[in-house]
Structure 1
Amino acid sequence: MLNLPKKVTIIEVGPRDGLQNEKLFVPTVIKKQFISRLRNAGLQEMELTSFVSPKWVPQMSDAAEIVTDCLDADARNIVLAPNRRGVDRVYSTDCQAVAVFVGVSNSFNLKNINKTTKDSMTELVPIISELKEKNYFVRACISTAFYCPYEGKINESDTIKLCQEFVDAGVDELSVADTIGMAAPDECFALFSQLKSLFPHTLLTAHFHDTRKLALANIFASLQAGIDRFDTSAGGLGGCPFAPGASGNVATEDVVYMLERMGIDTGVDLNKLIDAIEVVRPHLSRQIESGYYRLHAQTV
C-alpha cells in the first residue's frame, strides 16, 4: 500500500530561484505581479528574492523594493541571505523568514560563494543563533546533496553530517537539493528516509531540478519516505549560475497536478497558477516547457 500524505506543502521558489538565472532582467513591477498572482493561486510559502551582490546576480538588484512591497502577514515570506551582509539587510526590513545556503561539495561552495563548506558553516552558525534569538524562521538550503557538477557523487554521510550541523545550530527547516538533477528515486528514498528518522522535529523539504526528467519520480519516492514539503518553481523556471548543465526547478504546475490526481491536497488552484506564469512569460529568455502548462495554457 502506498504511503501518501493527505496534504502537501508547496514552497514556491519561482520569484527567487526561478528568476535568478534569467538572462533578461525581469521588470520589478512584473516580479511584484508574479508574486501577487502566485499568492492568489494559494501558495502561502514563497522565496521572494535574495539579498546577494547585484554584481554577481543582477536579477536580484531590486530585492529591497520587492521585500518592501510584497510581504504578506498571512504568508511565510522567505528571503535568501547568504552571509552577514545579507542578513543585516534583512534586519532593515519587516521580513521574518531567512534562508541561508551551503553546498555539501567544497568545490561547488568555492565556485558559488568563494568559501569552503567548513568556512561557510563557521560563519553561519553564530548568525543562525542570532536570528533564532530574534525569533526569525530560518531555512537552511543544502545544495549538491546528491551530486556535484565538479566532484560527482556526494557521499550520503557528508550530506547527513551537514544537515546535522544545521539542526544543531537551530534551523527550523532543511531544504535538501538535487542541484543538478542527477539523483534517482532510490537515492532520494534512502536519504530522505534517514533524514526523517534522524530529524523528526525539523521541517524537511525536498528540492529537485528536472535536468534529466526525474523530478516527479523523485518526489514520488520522497513521499514514500515521509516527506510532505517540496520546493517547486512556477513554469519550471530556474537553474544555478554556478552549476553547469543544471536545468530549471521542477514545475509547480506539474507537481500540483500529479499530487492532486493522487488525492493529495496542495491548496493550489491550477488555473490561477497558469495566470501567474502568463504574467512573467513574455519577459523570459526561454520557453515554458512544463507538461501541464503546454497542455492547458491559453497562449503557448
Structure 2
Amino acid sequence: MNIPASVEVIEVGMRDGLQMEYQFIDTGTKVELINGLMAAGVRHIEATSFVSPRAVPQLADAAEVLAGAHRPAGSRFAVLAPNLKGVERAIAAKADEIVVFLSCSESHNEKNLNRSIDRSLEDISAIAQRVKDVDIIKKGAIACAFGCPFEGDIDLDTLMRIAGNFHALGFRALTLGDTTGMATPRLVTRTVLALRDAFPEMKLTLHFHNTRGIGLVNVVAGLNAGIDSYESSLGGLGGCPFAPGASGNICTEDLVYLLNEMGIQTGIDLGKLIDVASRMESILGRSLPGQVMKAGPRLRLHGYEDAACAMG
C-alpha cells in the first residue's frame, strides 16, 4: 500500500451542493458558510460557478460571493467555468483557479453541456488559449469517469483520450468525477493506475458520490493507489441534475473523520467542520446525509446516568 501521509480535501458543497437547491440562499449566508469552512481549516474550496444565471439561478451571485468571502493566506478559491464567457467572469472576479469540464460519455455531455465531446474539447482548447498568460490555475474535470447512467461502462481509451487532450493543452491537474456513484474499488484502482502511468506529472483528484453507499470505500481504494486529493461536499449535499439517480457527494465531515482515524493529516478541525455542516442543515431546513455530524467522533462519550436502561 502507498497511503499518503496527508490529503488535500477540496470542499465543493458551495457549488456542487447548492446548485441542486431550489430555494435561493442569499449571498451573505453563502459567505458566512465559506468563512466558517475557512475557520475550520479548509483551504481549497470550489466556491461557486460562472454558469448562466438562467440555467442555475442559485449561483447567479458568483462574483459577489467571491468578493465577500474571507480568503486567508494559503487558500485557493476555485470556480467552475464551462465556457469562455464564464472564464472571463471568473478572471474579472479574481478566482484563484478555474475548473473546466466535460463528460467522457457522449450522452451525458449532450444532456449536461448541449455539446458533443469533440465540440467540448474545442471549447476547452479556446479556454486554454485565453488563460495562457493569465495568473490563474487551470484544472480539468471529467464527469462520468467511472460509468454513465445512459451508456453504462466507459471505455478506458475514451477517458485516456480526453485526459491526453487536457495534458496537451497544458493542464496539470485533473479531477475524475464519479457523477452517479458508479465507481467501485476495482474500477478506481484500474483507472487511476492507467492515468498515472500515462501522465505521471498530472495531479489527480477523485470526486466520488455516495449514490450506492460505497463512496468512502472508493476513497480507501484511491488512498491505496496513492491519490492524495479528494473532493467532498458539506453534509453530503449534491448530485447532478442531468443524470438520473445521482444523489449526493461523499460528505466532507465523514471523509475528514475517516482520514483522521487512518492517521492521515488534513489540517481541518473536525469539530468546527461539524458546526458548519449543522449550520448548513439549519439553513436548508432538513436533515442532511452526513453521518458524523449526527453521531460525532468515535470517542465522543455520553453521560452514563442519562442513558436508557433495560428493565426486567
TM-score bracket for this pair, using the shorter chain length: over 0.9
Deviation at 1:13, TM superposition (A): 0.5
Stretch of structure 1 that moved more, 67-76 or 227-236: 67-76
Deviations along 1:81-127, one digit per CA (max 9) or x if unpaired, are 10011011112222231111100011111111111111011111121
Distance (Å, rounded) in 2 between the aligned partners of 1:285 and 1:186: 37
CA contact (8 A) 1:236 1:249 kept: yes
Alignment of 1:238 with 2:241, yes or no, is no
Q: How does 1:282-297 map to 2 (within 5 A)?
A: 282-284=282-284, 286-296=286-296
Deviations along 1:177-199, one digit per CA (max 9) or x if unpaired, are 11000111011011011112222
Distance (Å, rounded) in 2 between the aligned partners of 1:286 and 1:148: 29
Structure 2 residues without counterparts, runs of 5 or longer? 301-312
Question: Match for 2:56: what amino acid?
Answer: V
CA contact (8 A) 1:30 1:280 kept: no
SS at match of 2:281: helix
Alignment of 1:7 with 2:12, yes or no, is no
Deviations along 1:232-278, one digit per CA (max 9) or x if unpaired, are 11101111111111111100111111111111101111110011112
Partner of residue 148, structure 2: 148
CA separation of 1:198 and 1:71: change in aligned 2, threshold 3 A: farther
Partner of residue 308, structure 2: none
CA contact (8 A) 2:128 2:169 kept: yes
Q: Which TM-score applies when normalising by structure 2?
A: 0.92
Q: Which TM-score applies when normalising by structure 1?
A: 0.95
Partner of residue 216, structure 1: 216
Distance (Å, rounded) in 1 between the aligned partners of 2:284 and 2:180: 21
| CA RMSD between the two structures | 1.5
Alignment of 1:105 with 2:105, yes or no, is yes
Distance (Å, rounded) in 2 between the aligned partners of 1:104 and 1:213: 23
Distance (Å, rounded) in 1 between the aligned partners of 2:267 and 2:92: 32
Aligned residues: 297
Deviation at 1:73, TM superposition (A): 5.4
Q: How does 1:1-300 map to 2 (within 5 A)?
A: 2-70=1-69, 72=71, 74=73, 75-284=75-284, 286-296=286-296
Same amino acid, percent of matched pairs = 42
Distance (Å, rounded) in 2 between the aligned partners of 1:46 and 1:19: 13
Higher relative contact order (CA 8 A, sep 6+): 1
Deviation at 1:64, TM superposition (A): 1.5
Deviation at 1:3, TM superposition (A): 2.3
CA contact (8 A) 1:156 1:191 kept: yes
Distance (Å, rounded) in 1 between the aligned partners of 2:262 and 2:95: 35
SS at match of 1:139: strand
Structure 1 residues without counterparts, runs of 5 or longer? none
Question: Match for 2:261: what amino acid?
Answer: R
Deviations along 1:33-66, one digit per CA (max 9) or x if unpaired, are 1100111111110000001111111110111110
SS at match of 1:183: coil
Deviation at 1:76, TM superposition (A): 0.7
Stretch of structure 1 that moved more, 135-144 or 88-97: 88-97
Distance (Å, rounded) in 1 between the aligned partners of 2:293 and 2:153: 32
CA contact (8 A) 2:232 2:252 kept: yes
CA contact (8 A) 1:31 1:280 kept: no
Stretch of structure 1 that moved more, 22-31 or 79-88: 22-31
Return the index of the structure with the highest Cα Rg: 2
Distance (Å, rounded) in 1 between the aligned partners of 2:193 and 2:286: 36
Stretch of structure 1 that moved more, 222-231 or 88-97: 88-97
Deviation at 1:286, TM superposition (A): 4.3
SS at match of 1:129: helix
Distance (Å, rounded) in 1 between the aligned partners of 2:44 and 2:111: 29
